[in-house]
Amino acid sequence: MIVWVNGAFGSGKSTLVEELRPRWPEALVFDPEMVGAVLSRIVDVPTGDFQDLRQWRRQVVNMAVGLVEEYRRPLLVPMTLVNPGYLDEIFGALEAAQVEVRHFFLKVPEEVLISRIDGRSFFPDDPARDEQGRAWCKARIRACTAAVDALPQDTVLLDGESTPQELAEAVLRQVR
């Protein structure tokens, strides 16, 4: 089983997954961002978003399926995925591989997301690059929050302003 934790940048995806780890020790964590980082070192990403690379989407599916099949353990995936075509492509490929996906989306008001993003440091040693990272995340907030209406019907919407502990309990109630 894959537990995909989705939401805008700053919604708390990674925090929720970190909260789930000690409560669900048999689960593995797979962050598709790592696949994007590797691909970005190999090929140009003309749009600036590695999700636009078909190879990224293929490798995310291959890695997720491989981890589930090889280790027979649940997989926690913290990743913003709001492009409906890409979401359908990835979730469809996972379904075709007969891997169950439980999809959770953290809903957080825009002003809270902005505040959380402003409180982050992506590149502490490079203030200009740090600000670029925050600007990139903030520029995608509206698309992320608007995506809620186009998510798969079985998506579980979570109140992203709840505590990480409350969110972890809500996820575990849904998957167990």
pTM: 0.95
Distances from the Cα of 139 to the Cαs of 43, 101, 114, in angstroms?
24, 28, 10
- Which phi and psi (to 5°) does residue 27 adopt? -75, 140
Question: What topology is assigned to 2-175 in CATH?
Answer: Rossmann fold (3.40.50)
Kindly state the average pLDDT of the residues 63-89: 97
DSSP letter at 4 equals E
Q: What is the 3-class SS of 33-88, one letter each residue?
A: HHHHHHHHHHCCCCCCCHHHCHHHHHHHHHHHHHHHHHHCCCEEEECCCCCHHHHH
- Residue 71 carries which side chain, given as an amino acid letter? Y
What pLDDT sits at residue 122? 86
Q: Is the Cβ–Cβ distance between 1 and 76 less than 8 Å? A: no
What pLDDT sits at residue 110? 96
What pLDDT sits at residue 67? 98
Kindly state the average pLDDT of the residues 62-85: 97
Q: How confident is the model at residue 97 (pLDDT cuts 50, 70, 90)?
A: very high
Q: How far apart are CA 2 and CA 81, in angstroms?
A: 14
- Tokens representing 156? 């579980």
pLDDT tens by residue, 100-138:
999 999 999 999 999 999 999 989 999 999 999 999 999
| Residue ranges covered by each domain of the chain | 2-175
Q: Is the Cβ–Cβ distance between 59 and 26 less than 8 Å? A: no
Kindly state the average pLDDT of the residues 135-157: 95
What pLDDT sits at residue 117? 97
pLDDT tens by residue, 41-68:
999 999 999 999 999 999 999 999 999 9
Kindly state the average pLDDT of the residues 138-152: 94
